[in-house]
Chain A
Amino acid sequence: MTLASDRILRLLLPAIFLALSVIAWDLVVRVFDLPPYLLPGPGLVARTLVEDWGVLSAALVVTLVTTLQAFLLAAIGGVLLAILFNQSRLLEYSLYPHAVILQVTPIVAIAPLLLIYLPQQAAVLACAWIVAFFPVLANTTLGLNSVDHNLADLFRLYRATRMQVLLRLKLPAALPHILAGLRIAGGLALIGAVVAELSAGSAGAGSGLAYRIAESGYRLHIPRMFAALLLLSLTGIVIYFVLALVTHLTLRRWHESAARREA
């Protein structure tokens, strides 16, 4: 199979599957004559998306901003912490286990506590950050430690300073791992934001997409639930592809994962 036709298949097949699913969904709703409060058809969901665009787009912006802030903080925090741990073993031994504890404690359980102690927006952000930063930390740590021994010896031979080793050897060597961590963090930042919004929503405030879903649920406004869910899902997809693209553009010149090998 040629590369071009392989590529087309990889785009075409999921699209066809999606189209078939939507048609099946529509058919089920029509054939069984399901009322919208049980299962709205795809047409109604699309109409709701357009009619409620004012509310939904405002909610989308709120969720997007939270996700983006959490992602950036997770990226910066995760990479910086990993660098600190890499430079000081004592610091790593003292703090790394606590990062793991933070990670393995379910965020849904932490969120209500954070909402008590922090202002609404800060709590939501903190939740999303806690979920998203760990993969960045773990992957960057792995990357900084997986430097080729001979290359490290070479730097030693030429009496490189700690800073030179970090900037010219460890960070470039860790870059593929860092980017892998960021790809995971992108998705998790959105999940963290949604979980936090849902917890905050029940506390009586919030206006993001997840809050709109919960609110529509209480009011049995099922089509709007679906519309908001659709937007969340699209947001996740966009984040995934943007980060995959960034990874590809950064690594395509030299890393096996991104560079296409001509046979």
Chain B
Amino acid sequence: MAYTDPMSGPAVSDTQPIVSLRNVGKTFDSGTVALAGLDLDVRSGEFVALLGPSGCGKSTALRLIAGLSEPSSGVVETASVRDDIGFVFQEPTLMPWATVAGNISLPLELRGVPARDAATRVAAAIERVGLRSFADAHPRQLSGGMRMRASIARALVTEPKLLLMDEPFAALDEITRFKLNDDLLALWQSLRTTIVFVTHSVFESVYLAQRIVVMTPRPGLVARELTIDASHPRDARFRTSPDYAALCRATSEALHAAIGEGGA
């Protein structure tokens, strides 16, 4: 594990970053300064966790990357993946009137993928998240964890180059969360997609990410970057290993230091 200066960038790979935020600021009309001077690079194939306390601007940063909101200052550069982004919201955000299959096929239908082609890809996506017997169920008939899996399947159905996830497992119980963590890592390994994962859980970020970006609250900016160099695939053994415990302690200290530095 290594501490790196946020300005010098991580030493994960030397390819061009596919996401690059330079000195990004976001001030809302209400006067809230959510982000100020945020710098972030994400390289192809990386699994990056954005870690920070509530209200530090993690969701705001993710929405800027997705192009769902415009920065007040600075530059957000995502040109190479602009039209190839999957987004998993904090809530499942499913259309209640559509079945699980209908929800998952939405991105394909909006893009005009031929119905037969779409059907096979939807079936594969449903299979991937283990919802096969619930393909024709409506969201209200699913448990919270199943809804989240449907939401993840929808984001994955286009096999996006960049997958943005906003605390997707925050509302779930620990057992379900662990299971979905493992599923997500397996998917990441098999699809080789790039993932930016927002969380406020130290343990989750260490378990999942190759690199953890620790943010300070108000205004949000990058305080520390930590490289988690434990090899993938990671599993329950990793979760109980002394290595994992040490990484969590170090990350936790970094987070507390960042909170101490913040203006709040």
Contact = CB atoms under 8 A, between A and B. Distances in A.
Contacts of A169: 95
A255 B63 CA distance: 29
B226 to A, nearest CB: 29
Contacts of A256: 140
Contacts of A253: 97, 138
A157 B138 contact: no
A169 B94 CA distance: 11
A158 interface: yes
Interface in B102-156: 106-107, 109-111, 138-140
Interface string B33-75: 0000000000000000000000000000001001110000000
A153 B93 CA distance: 10
Interface string A153-173: 111111110001000110011
Given A253-B138, A256-B140, A150 B83 contact: no
A259 interface: yes
A148 interface: yes
A261 to B, nearest CB: 8
Given A156-B68, A159-B110, A259 B140 contact: yes
B77 interface: no
Contacts of B83: 159
A97 to B, nearest CB: 27
Interface residues of A, number: 22
20 contacts: A150-B89, A150-B93, A151-B95, A153-B66, A153-B87, A154-B87, A154-B89, A154-B93, A154-B106, A157-B66, A158-B106, A158-B110, A159-B83, A164-B110, A168-B106, A168-B109, A253-B138, A254-B97, A254-B98, A254-B139
Given A253-B138, A254-B138, A259-B140, A155 B110 contact: yes
Given A159-B111, A172-B95, 13 more contacts: A153-B89, A154-B87, A154-B89, A154-B106, A156-B68, A157-B85, A164-B110, A168-B109, A168-B110, A173-B97, A254-B97, A254-B140, A255-B96
A253 B140 CA distance: 9
Interface string A130-160: 0000000000000000001011011111111
B68 A153 contact: yes
A175 interface: yes
